[in-house]
């Protein structure tokens, strides 16, 4: 029973990590209707930039100069500034020219952007695996391990706390501030928002910067856990079912979706092989080992199952179709 | 002056319904076919066959398949890699289980198997639409790859987990393995692609194609004028998967000679084929070929230019290639969202007026 609990907790925490990425998707989709496939690579790019600044790497040369290494308190704001510049560039060179295009065109442009991020990130900061050391706590949480015999990684607790803070800040930002109100107006109706004097371009820059900051948070968490490397960008593919399960437009949806998928995936990974082998024990011989590495597809199949009942995701706005 | 419709009088229904009504188009197609069947084999060697012509033709076929589903019927799919894998692995199973089978029948069987799998994963398409459908197709992609990797029956229990091709003949000519003559392999793939392209061209201008396009433009409206959306979406899934399955079998059997589910048929393949139809032109048979040519040839061209031309290291060239690939995709989408096929159409329209534009 303890083992089940442990699996559930670790699944929930992993799910929060997925939610961090999914959050970036939701932000951009809400404000511009763009399905930003490059969110995963943005996380990688932000983490690479942070590592590069911390270790004083000179961009495009792949050499370190320790004299240029920045302390953490300077490197993080500078990375955020870089993500802001990236947001401005994306608005200027891509989004501005693709207003009013079909969804699939915008989506493919974002996939193209993914390649650009990947290539530029590698060229700027080198393509080897990097260690991100921000002094975040590592290893198991001793207190819980001693008193309840539960193994929970500290870094995942930090990620969960970060996600909670981010969601709260974003919720307040969206609901209470002037810019947040403008963002919601743009999300509702581009033209109506324009007609009351909201600048679409500024809004896009703000949203992409916010998504950049979320990407940085996700990149830092994943990077601290498993090193900053190319595979980091693949979490976009993990965040996609989370996003769809929760509904494209819902911030709580991203969190709940992450939890459902994180927990489900861990439970299936750990227990399905034995259960299925036991169920068919008398009939055919099934090797429980066959049901390993289910993590790759389980999230999608689960999302698909939910979609059969709610085609707009759990918290998505109801899709109304007219001729 | 050179390319025009004026003076072209149709006196029978048959003349009204030909595929290429303008004589210049007909001659152009015949000339291209003549070059492809007679001219190209003269310069064919292993390098040209394996690096340029065979991948171009096979990817054209895959792009054609995806274009039927995404371009004509409007169902966005990212499961192409998985369906290619079904084609590849089912052709392997057919080749090893029935050694007597002609390669053409193997391809047909692989296509039919993939069509069934495509139907299965297309089933949710009535309820799930747009980007949400991407999840269903991604589920297909990841599940199929996982299945071929985990269940040893699919690769005949061999130790490497790979499948590798065995010598098989089509109509008496050896077409698989490295022993096969590159010219024969090229002509084999070319003939198949030509037949399938002709079939696609006829399908999309006929009853089915029009119904698919009605569904794409607005499925509720299509339903109101008496088209059954579910049936048409499912037929699009089946036909498209058939094409993609044949392409997957060709990738394995004729082009690469060996395959491993995650390596050969990964998610990257899905994106690659999707890029082809976007760059080439959604809803265009010609666009599938143009897009495939662009995506297959561009990396080769860039690599030759950067490594041999500027003397860059292979790693740096690879990074620049990826970046350039992304930039070009975005550039294309901004400049001409309807793809290369649309550019060709504009050229034709200009040609009709030349040399006296209004």
pLDDT in tens, A133-175: 776 676 666 776 667 666 777 777 887 888 888 888 888 888 8
Q: Tell me, what's the pLDDT at B1? A: 65
Across the interface, whether the CB atoms of B326 and A119 are under 8 A apart is answered: yes
- Whole-Å CA distances, A313 to A24, A166, A299: 17, 22, 14
Residue A314 falls inside a structural domain: no
Q: Tell me, what's the pLDDT at A321? A: 77
> CA of A33: which chain B residue's CA is closest?
B131
Q: What is the mean pLDDT of residues A302-317?
A: 83
Residues of B in contact with A119 (CB under 8 A): 319-326
Q: Tell me, what's the pLDDT at B65? A: 96
The count of other CB atoms within 10 Å of the CB of residue B268 is 10
Q: What is the mean pLDDT of residues A266-292?
A: 73
Q: Could you tell me if A116 lies within 8 Å of chain B, comparing CB atoms?
A: yes
Confidence grade of residue A31 (pLDDT, cut at 50, 70, 90): confident
Q: Could you tell me if B275 lies within 8 Å of chain A, comparing CB atoms?
A: yes
Q: Could you tell me if B17 lies within 8 Å of chain A, comparing CB atoms?
A: no
Q: What is the dihedral of CA A194, A248, B270, A93, to 10 degrees?
A: 30
Q: What is the mean pLDDT of residues A220-231?
A: 79
Across the interface, whether the CB atoms of A94 and B334 are under 8 A apart is answered: yes
C-alpha–C-alpha distance, residues B72 and B243, integer Å? 14
Confidence grade of residue B114 (pLDDT, cut at 50, 70, 90): very high
Q: Could you tell me if A321 lies within 8 Å of chain B, comparing CB atoms?
A: yes
Confidence grade of residue A274 (pLDDT, cut at 50, 70, 90): confident
The answer to whether residues B138 and B79 touch, using CB atoms and an 8 Å cutoff, is: yes
From chain A residues 21-60, the ones with a CB under 8 A of any chain B CB are 35
Across the interface, whether the CB atoms of A293 and B150 are under 8 A apart is answered: yes
Across the interface, whether the CB atoms of B145 and A115 are under 8 A apart is answered: no
Residues of A in contact with B325 (CB under 8 A): 112, 115, 119
The answer to whether residues B87 and B111 touch, using CB atoms and an 8 Å cutoff, is: yes
What's the gap in Å between the CA of B166 and the closest CA on chain A? 27
Decide if pLDDT at B187 tops 90: yes
> CA of B274: which chain A residue's CA is closest?
A108
Among A94, A102, A300, the residue with its CB nearest the CB of B139 is: A300
- Average pLDDT score, chain B: 89
What's the gap in Å between the CA of A106 and the closest CA on chain B? 8
Q: Tell me, what's the pLDDT at A289? A: 66
The answer to whether residues A110 and A34 touch, using CB atoms and an 8 Å cutoff, is: yes
Strand partners, A63: A58
Collapse the DSSP code of B357 into the 3-class scheme (helix H, G, I; strand E, B; otherwise coil) and give the result.
coil
Q: What is the mean pLDDT of residues B112-122?
A: 94
Residue A319 falls inside a structural domain: no
Q: Tell me, what's the pLDDT at B109? A: 96
Q: Tell me, what's the pLDDT at A287? A: 66
| SS3 letters across A212-232 | HHHHHHHHHHHHHHHCECHHH
Across the interface, whether the CB atoms of A323 and B220 are under 8 A apart is answered: yes
Q: Could you tell me if B105 lies within 8 Å of chain A, comparing CB atoms?
A: no
- Average pLDDT score, chain A: 82
Residue A226 C-beta-side C-alpha neighbours within 13 Å: 13
- Which of the 8 DSSP states describes residue A318? P
Q: Could you tell me if B298 lies within 8 Å of chain A, comparing CB atoms?
A: no
Residue A235, domain CATH: 1.10.3470
Confidence grade of residue A288 (pLDDT, cut at 50, 70, 90): low
Domain total in chain A: 1
Collapse the DSSP code of B259 into the 3-class scheme (helix H, G, I; strand E, B; otherwise coil) and give the result.
strand
Decide if pLDDT at B350 tops 80: yes
Among A112, A127, A300, the residue with its CB nearest the CB of B333 is: A112
Across the interface, whether the CB atoms of A248 and B131 are under 8 A apart is answered: yes
Domain holding A43, by residue range, is 2-309
C-alpha–C-alpha distance, residues A191 and A311, integer Å? 27
On the 0-12 / 13-18 / 19+ scale of CB atoms within 10 A, B163 is buried
Q: Tell me, what's the pLDDT at B67? A: 95
The count of other CB atoms within 10 Å of the CB of residue A237 is 19
Decide if pLDDT at B113 tops 70: yes
Percent of chain A residues past pLDDT 70, beyond the cut:
91
The token pair at A236 is 């976009």
Best-predicted range by mean pLDDT (A121-125, A225-229, B62-66): B62-66
pLDDT in tens, A61-112: 767 777 777 787 888 899 999 999 999 999 899 888 887 777 778 888 898 9
Task: Tally A–B CB contacts below 8 A.
Answer: 137
- Whole-Å CA distances, B246 to A193, A315, B110, B208, B273: 50, 40, 6, 21, 14
Q: Tell me, what's the pLDDT at A144? A: 66
Decide if pLDDT at B179 tops 70: yes
Q: Could you tell me if A127 lies within 8 Å of chain B, comparing CB atoms?
A: yes
Q: What is the mean pLDDT of residues A45-57?
A: 86
Instruction: Count Cβ neighbours within 10 Å for each residue of A10-34 and write b for 16 or more, e otherwise.
Output: bbbbbbbbbbbbbbbbbbbbbbbeb
Q: Tell me, what's the pLDDT at B212? A: 95
Residue ranges in chain B assigned as alpha helix (H): 13-16, 23-34, 40-43, 46-47, 54-66, 80-97, 103-122, 131-150, 182-205, 207-217, 219-224, 229-250, 261-264, 267-280, 285-303, 314-335, 339-353
On the 0-12 / 13-18 / 19+ scale of CB atoms within 10 A, A88 is middle
- Which of the 8 DSSP states describes residue B174? E
pLDDT in tens, B210-249: 999 999 998 899 999 999 999 999 999 999 999 999 999 9
Q: Tell me, what's the pLDDT at B54? A: 94
Closest Cα to residue B215, out of B31, B60, B204?
B204
Q: Tell me, what's the pLDDT at A81? A: 94
Collapse the DSSP code of B211 into the 3-class scheme (helix H, G, I; strand E, B; otherwise coil) and give the result.
helix
Decide if pLDDT at B309 tops 70: yes
Across the interface, whether the CB atoms of B330 and A240 are under 8 A apart is answered: no
> CA of A299: which chain B residue's CA is closest?
B139
Residues of B in contact with A98 (CB under 8 A): 333-334, 337
Across the interface, whether the CB atoms of B139 and A116 are under 8 A apart is answered: no
From chain B residues 192-251, the ones with a CB under 8 A of any chain A CB are 218, 220-221, 224
Q: What is the mean pLDDT of residues A4-28?
A: 84
From chain B residues 118-157, the ones with a CB under 8 A of any chain A CB are 124, 127-132, 134-136, 138-139, 142-143, 145-146, 149-151
Q: Tell me, what's the pLDDT at A28? A: 83
Q: Tell me, what's the pLDDT at B81? A: 95
pTM of the model as a whole: 0.89
C-alpha–C-alpha distance, residues A258 and A243, integer Å? 8
Among B142, B278, B326, the residue with its CB nearest the CB of A114 is: B326
Collapse the DSSP code of B170 into the 3-class scheme (helix H, G, I; strand E, B; otherwise coil) and give the result.
strand
Decide if pLDDT at A286 tops 70: no
Decide if pLDDT at A298 tops 80: yes
The count of other CB atoms within 10 Å of the CB of residue B110 is 29
C-alpha–C-alpha distance, residues A82 and A50, integer Å? 10
Q: What is the mean pLDDT of residues A109-121?
A: 89
What's the gap in Å between the CA of B285 and the closest CA on chain A? 19
Residues of B in contact with A312 (CB under 8 A): 132
Among B146, B275, B324, the residue with its CB nearest the CB of A293 is: B146
Percent of chain B residues past pLDDT 90, beyond the cut:
46
Strand (E) positions, chain A? 57-58, 63-64
- Which of the 8 DSSP states describes residue B284? -
Q: Could you tell me if A272 lies within 8 Å of chain B, comparing CB atoms?
A: no
C-alpha–C-alpha distance, residues B65 and B62, integer Å? 5
C-alpha–C-alpha distance, residues B189 and B289, integer Å? 14
Decide if pLDDT at B5 tops 80: no
Domain range annotation of chain B: 43-266
C-alpha–C-alpha distance, residues B91 and B89, integer Å? 5
Helical (H) or strand (E) element with B169? strand B169-170
């Amino acid at each position: 029973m303890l083992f089940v609990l442990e699996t559930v907790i670790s699944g929930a925490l992993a799910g929060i990590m997925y939610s961090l990425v999914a959050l970036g998707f939701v932000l951009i989709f809400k404000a511009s209707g763009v399905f930003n496939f490059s969110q995963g690579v943005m996380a990688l790019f932000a983490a690479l930039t942070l590592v590069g600044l911390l270790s004083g790497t000179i961009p495009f040369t792949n050499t370190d100069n320790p004299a240029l290494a920045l302390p953490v308190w300077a490197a993080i704001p500078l990375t955020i500034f870089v993500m802001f510049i990236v947001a401005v560039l994306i608005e200027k060179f891509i989004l501005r020219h693709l207003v009013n295009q079909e969804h699939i065109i915008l989506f493919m442009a974002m996939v193209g952007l993914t390649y650009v991020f990947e290539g530029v990130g590698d060229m700027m900061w080198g393509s080897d695996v990097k260690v991100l050391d921000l002094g975040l706590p590592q290893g198991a949480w001793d207190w819980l391990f001693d008193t309840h015999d539960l193994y929970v990684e500290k870094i995942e607790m930090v990620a969960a706390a970060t996600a909670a803070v981010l969601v709260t800040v974003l919720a307040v930002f969206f609901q209470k501030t002037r810019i947040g109100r403008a963002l919601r107006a743009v999300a509702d109706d581009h033209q109506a928002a324009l007609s009351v004097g909201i600048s679409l371009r500024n809004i896009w820059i703000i949203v992409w910067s916010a998504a950049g900051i979320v990407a940085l948070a996700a990149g830092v968490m994943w990077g601290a856990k498993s090193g900053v490397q190319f595979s980091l960008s693949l979490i976009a593919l993990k965040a996609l079912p989370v996003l769809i399960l929760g509904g494209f437009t819902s911030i709580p949806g991203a969190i709940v979706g992450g939890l459902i998928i994180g927990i489900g995936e861990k439970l299936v990974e750990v227990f399905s092989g034995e259960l299925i082998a036991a169920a068919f024990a008398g009939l055919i011989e099934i090797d429980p080992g066959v049901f390993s590495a289910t993590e790759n597809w389980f999230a999608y199949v689960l999302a698909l199952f939910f979609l059969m009942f709610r085609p707009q995701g759990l918290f998505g706005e109801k899709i109304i179709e007219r001729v | 002056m050179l390319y025009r419709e004026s003076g072209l009088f149709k006196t029978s229904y048959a003349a009204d319904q030909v595929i290429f009504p303008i004589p210049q188009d007909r001659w152009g197609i015949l000339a291209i076919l003549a070059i492809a069947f007679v001219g190209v084999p003269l310069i064919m060697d292993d390098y040209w066959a394996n690096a340029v012509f065979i991948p171009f033709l096979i990817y054209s076929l895959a792009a054609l398949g995806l274009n039927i589903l995404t371009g004509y019927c409007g169902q966005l799919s990212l499961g192409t890699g998985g369906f290619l894998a079904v084609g590849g692995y089912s052709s392997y199973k057919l080749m090893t289980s029935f050694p007597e089978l002609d390669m053409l029948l193997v391809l047909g069987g692989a296509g039919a198997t993939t069509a069934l799998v495509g139907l299965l994963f297309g089933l949710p398409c009535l309820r799930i639409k747009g980007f949400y459908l991407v999840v269903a197709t991604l589920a297909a992609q990841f599940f199929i790859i996982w299945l071929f990797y985990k269940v040893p029956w699919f690769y005949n229990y061999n130790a490497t987990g790979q499948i590798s091709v065995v010598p098989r003949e089509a109509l008496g000519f050896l077409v698989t393995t490295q022993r096969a003559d590159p010219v024969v392999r090229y002509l084999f793939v070319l003939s198949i692609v030509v037949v399938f392209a002709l079939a696609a061209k006829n399908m999309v201008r006929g009853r089915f194609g029009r119904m698919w396009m009605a569904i794409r433009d607005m499925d509720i409206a299509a339903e109101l004028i008496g088209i059954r959306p579910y049936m048409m979406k499912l037929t699009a899934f089946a036909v498209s998967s058939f094409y993609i399955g044949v392409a997957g079998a060709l990738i394995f059997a004729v082009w690469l000679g060996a395959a491993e589910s995650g390596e050969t048929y990964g998610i990257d393949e899905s994106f690659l084929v999707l890029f082809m139809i976007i760059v080439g032109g959604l809803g265009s048979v010609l666009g599938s070929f143009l897009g495939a040519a662009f995506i297959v040839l561009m990396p080769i061209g860039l690599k030759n230019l950067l490594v041999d031309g500027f003397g860059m290291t292979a790693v740096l060239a690879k990074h620049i290639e990826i970046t350039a690939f992304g930039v070009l995709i975005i550039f294309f989408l901004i400049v001409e969202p309807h793809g290369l096929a649309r550019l060709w159409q504009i050229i034709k329209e200009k040609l009709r007026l030349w040399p006296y534009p209004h």
